[in-house]
Amino acid sequence: MSKSEKRRTKNEGEGNRTADRRYREGVREHIRESDVESEAKAAEEALAGKEGQSLREAEEAGKNRAKESDR
Q: What is the pLDDT along the chain (71 residues), one digit of tens a residue?
A: 566 666 666 788 778 999 999 999 999 999 999 999 999 999 999 999 999 999 999 999 999 988 888 77
In a domain, 11, yes or no: no
Quote the pLDDT of residue 54.
Answer: 98
Range of the domain at 25: 17-70
In a domain, 47, yes or no: yes
In a domain, 6, yes or no: no
Quote the pLDDT of residue 38.
Answer: 98
What gap in Å lies between CA 4 and CA 24, rounded to an integer?
Answer: 22
In a domain, 65, yes or no: yes
Number of domain units in the chain: 1
Quote the pLDDT of residue 45.
Answer: 98
In a domain, 8, yes or no: no
